[in-house]
Structure 1
Amino acid sequence: MRYAFWTIILFQLLFIACSSPTETSTLLFDNAARNRVDSTLNAFVQAGKVAGISALIYEKGEERYFQAFGYADREQQKPMTRETMVQIYSMTKPITGTALMKLYERGIFELDDPLEKHLPEFSNMKVYQGVDENGEMILSEADRSITVRDITRHTAGFPNRDNIPGLSEVMREKDARNYNNTLASMAEKIGSTPLWFQPGTQWEYGLCVDVQAYLVEKLSGMPYGEFLQKEVLDPLEMNETMYFVPEEYRDRMAAVYERQTDGTLARQNDSIAYRFSYNHWPLTPGGFGLSSTIDDYLKFTKMLLNEGKHGDQIILEPSTVELMRTNHLPDSIKERSWLPHRGQVGFGIDFAVRIAPPQDAQENQGNVGEFFWDGALSTLFFIDPENELIAIMFVQLTPYDGIGLHKAFRDAVYGPWKPAAN
């Protein structure tokens, strides 16, 4: 009898052990990873490479890590905290993509629609072919229309460099991203500027997501900022994500620090750092402009990891999230600007998408299927569906990550690089 009793207990213990594996055997982000992230981020602060930094890791339905180091405002000795607000710049883009895809779900457009079907400003586009002996631009007809898909994957052909003879001068004259432009006037200026290359032939980062915002405005019949608030930010309860930052939030805003040539940090003048965020402007860009907290951005990324769900609300359908995080760049697009520096990646709808594992220890770490993006002030997020993991890192550093911060953070999360198994 006693033997039978202890046999039952033993089997129960074995069942518990098998059904509730230890943290180290089931979680990517284990105690070793926690220690690596702590030491890595703290080292950047202690070395004076960043003034302040925070990171949050969420895995398999639970928060696994949050820590902040250094100062949000070094001069005023304000520590970086969970409540710190930062300017997320291009991490605005996936939020805009979410707004656009809500209209896609309603059948209002198709990805392969000609953009001019919805936005006549982009009809009869001309394509830059260089300059003649007098410095005049040589133009040709576009081989095909820009499509909506082109503006979601940065293959529209919009120029975005300051060194294209003749064309860059036109861009400066048009000044499409002037904050005093409305989205409509911005679109008119972009549409009347020649394309740099034929649509669908190259990947070139730039104005595409700002055009997405205008497309949302036109298709919804609602000012873009209002649509974004009503359809995305409010349903996600992102109450601390905004274009204009009012006075009551400003003591929580992180200062912007500029890395000098000698490696030291200088605080950027507030009138420059907060020029967009502290003023009401006509422009509500899709490609940048939002300020947020790390917890607000977590709500957005959790929705994506959860295939479009936020609590009981359906923000996007699972098939739409899958479409967004699928690579839309065909192999025929060879010219991809600096995108290859992000690793073995393609591009979906406003995300980079990892299509192959890192080939060596020098490449950014990440799992196949991961989708991610970052911001001009060196912020970063990535979502790893295989491990059900989200990582968000907030910092306010310019120029964009010239100190290897993103790679170091990824190495800390994933651990030492190992060759991928066949």
Structure 2
Amino acid sequence: MKKLTLFILSIAFSASTLLAQNQLSQERLERYDNFLESEISNGKIPGAVALIYKDGEKAYEKAFGLSDIEAKTPMQNDQIFYIQSMTKPIATVALMMLYEEGKFFLTDPVENYIPEFKNLRVLQNPEDGKNGETEPAKQKITIAQILSHTAGFSHGLGSTQQEIDVREALYAQPHANIESRVKALASIPLIGQPGEQWHYSASPDIAARLVEIFSGQPFDQFLKERLLDPLGMKDTGYNLSDEQEKRMVALHGYSKEGKLIKMPNQTKTSGNTVFGGTHGLFSTAQDYSIFARMLLNGGEWNGKQYLSPKTIELMTQNHIEGLSYNPGYGFGLGFGLMVDLADADLLGSKGQYFWNGAYCTYFFIDPTENMVSFLMTQNSQYTSYYGDKMRQMVYQAIIE
């Protein structure tokens, strides 16, 4: 019996050793280099920064191409990007830090804290817009729903009149602060009943406003004091210094003829006062990697615990099971999730969580492989293509 036990333990140890030996092949990562260099030479993107950490070590970091195609400035590893919706995971973590302090329950109605969300109405036909026929919301929207995009809000990115109305109210009108923008969001009827669909939305702005209410601080100040500065994310924020602005990657896009160009309207890097949860942060690949590695490390970084591992476990559960979403994927609180590799038809790991930004910045966190990966460029015409390519190129490089 003793010999059998030792034999079983030996097998288990050997299996765990093999798993621990998974590593990134530098030879295979040259395929990643070749892909990015090809995209640059073909005029698809101006340049990019790619970064991977695996098993606590920096496994890959490279800058490709140019940060400004007009100035011919070479891309550097410490370039600053406007990360757009990669702000959303940071806003979610900030709110969940206050959840751990007992400030609220995820099941709490948002109207308990922001009265503008009382008596919400739902459009019978989103094509009719804000002046169309409505019906009462069947339930009060909850904090969990705003973090999982199931509350019935939209983002103003689509073509229905409701989305156009949201876009006009949130982004075409001047707002002094996030409180003003959140009130504007509350003024537009919902696109669907709370809890009955997943619809990508501006609801993380509500999360940012809730952080202000629960903490008594402006959202940017809370982030700086409680998350960004303690983590050492020195290049992340809503406004850039003169020195940081010099490292800002220019925004590019395509002309009507499909040629890569530097966009005439560049991202505003100073004087920003709307500290949103949907978008707004600037960051570097290295800075964002600290945030991601903290989560991968069970919420701890350099001896400081930012979130409990149990909170991260809750955030990375699929909160939209039964709702229509992309095949193979789910959504947690603030993150997209890989739930079924076969349905997704893409390399990865079950339990990987991730998100992207509208100017083509991408990241994922993979607890199974103990790995985080980032790919950042600045292109105004968003595509999920480069996020999928990052996964394909990174995962094909894993060997035993």
> Do they superpose with TM above 0.5?
yes
- With over 3 angstroms needed to count, the CA separation of the structure-2 counterparts of 1:141 and 1:261, relative to structure 1, is same
1:116 counterpart (93, 108, 111): 111
Partners in 2 of 1:364 and 1:20 — Cα distance? 25
1:306 counterpart (286, 297, 300): 297
Partners in 1 of 2:277 and 2:169 — Cα distance? 18
- With over 3 angstroms needed to count, the CA separation of the structure-2 counterparts of 1:260 and 1:358, relative to structure 1, is farther
Partners in 1 of 2:288 and 2:152 — Cα distance? 30
RMSD between superposed Cα atoms in Å: 2.6
Partners in 2 of 1:110 and 1:59 — Cα distance? 34
Gaps of 5+ in 2: 1-13
Partner in structure 2 of residue 207 of structure 1: 202
CA contact (8 A) 2:148 2:319 kept: yes
Q: Secondary structure at the match of 1:398?
A: coil
Q: Secondary structure at the match of 2:60?
A: strand
Q: Secondary structure at the match of 2:155?
A: coil
Q: CA deviation at 1:416?
A: 8.9
Partner in structure 1 of residue 335 of structure 2: 351
Q: Report percent identity of matched pairs.
A: 34
Q: CA deviation at 1:42?
A: 1.6
- Map 1:320-331 to 2 at 5 A: 320-331=311-322
- Map 1:264-413 to 2 at 5 A: 264-269=259-264, 272-275=265-268, 278-331=269-322, 333-334=323-324, 336=325, 340=326, 344-359=328-343, 363-401=345-383, 404-413=385-394
Q: CA deviation at 1:28?
A: 4.0
Matched, 1:31 2:48: no
Structure 2 letter corresponding to 1:349: L
CA contact (8 A) 2:25 2:397 kept: no
Bigger radius of gyration: 1
Q: Secondary structure at the match of 1:234?
A: helix
1:193 counterpart (179, 188, 197): 188
- With over 3 angstroms needed to count, the CA separation of the structure-2 counterparts of 1:416 and 1:245, relative to structure 1, is closer
Gaps of 5+ in 1: 1-17, 418-422
Partners in 2 of 1:20 and 1:173 — Cα distance? 54
**1:143-183 residue CA offsets vs partner (Å, 9 max, x unmatched):** 00000001000011113345334x35643553367453322
Structure 1 letter corresponding to 2:370: E
- With over 3 angstroms needed to count, the CA separation of the structure-2 counterparts of 1:46 and 1:115, relative to structure 1, is same
CA contact (8 A) 1:180 1:281 kept: no
**1:219-274 residue CA offsets vs partner (Å, 9 max, x unmatched):** 111111111111110111111101011212111111111023544201012xx222
1:54 counterpart (49, 52, 66): 49
Q: Secondary structure at the match of 2:334?
A: coil
Q: Secondary structure at the match of 1:266?
A: strand
Partners in 1 of 2:174 and 2:82 — Cα distance? 16
- With over 3 angstroms needed to count, the CA separation of the structure-2 counterparts of 1:172 and 1:64, relative to structure 1, is closer
Structure 2 letter corresponding to 1:248: E
**1:34-59 residue CA offsets vs partner (Å, 9 max, x unmatched):** 22222222221122211111111111
Partner in structure 2 of residue 183 of structure 1: 178
**1:278-331 residue CA offsets vs partner (Å, 9 max, x unmatched):** 231331111111111111111111101001011111111111111111111121
Structure 1 letter corresponding to 2:316: R
**260-269 vs 313-322, greater mean Cα deviation:** 260-269
CA contact (8 A) 1:102 1:316 kept: yes
Matched, 1:127 2:127: no
Partner in structure 1 of residue 159 of structure 2: 163
Partners in 1 of 2:248 and 2:25 — Cα distance? 31
CA contact (8 A) 1:127 1:141 kept: yes
Matched, 1:255 2:237: no
Scaled by the length of structure 2, the TM-score of the pair is 0.89
Q: Secondary structure at the match of 2:230?
A: coil
Q: Secondary structure at the match of 1:210?
A: helix
